[in-house]
Structure 1
Amino acid sequence: MDCEQDVVDWSLLPPSEADHELLMQVRPQEGTHNKPPQKSFDCSIMDVADDMGFGIHDLNDALALGLVTRKATDGLSVGAWRVHRVRPNGSCKVAQ
């Protein structure tokens, strides 16, 4: 998917020294394993993906049940209704 190559390249860069230090911090826990003050990167990605999936599913249900109309959602978010498609050659197309 060449249209997102810059994002893929950025995500594969090693963390900066400051980020590495932040990610290596732990909170001591008496009588058990230490715990990090933040979630791991992969857990953060899974949480965001989960939130997006549930949000889209809930919106789809609301539209299907007539609780929300397409017209009522116009203008709420720029590009929210654009459909991104990936062509067989890997390039992207945005439906208007």
Structure 2
Amino acid sequence: MNNTDDIENYPGFTSIKGPDLSEKMYQSTVKAGVNFICGDVQEVTVDSNQWKHIKTDSEELAAKSVIIATGSTNKKLGVPGEEEFSGKGVSYCAVCDGAFLRVSR
């Protein structure tokens, strides 16, 4: 979502920038009492009572539920012009790519 320029027809918004929607979602969950902990996870184990034990680079935690959010990157082809024309005809959005399609009959 952070890599998306415009998100359209999302409930509550006609159009919103991806990073702006991400921030609004984050602030909403913080207001609801969600505790965010960021770090490099070294190990996750599950005990006999189904508790998840998370070992990060700086601390050890235990939780009933864990949300893994690793982020994303576009898969690049590595062809000439790909970087230069990214966003100028080279696109990585299945929904958006339809606008670039021209059908000749």
Q: What is the TM-score with the length of structure 1 in the denominator? A: 0.28
> Which structure exhibits the higher relative contact order, with contacts defined as CA atoms closer than 8 Å and separated by 6 or more residues?
1
Higher strand share: 2
Higher helix share: 1
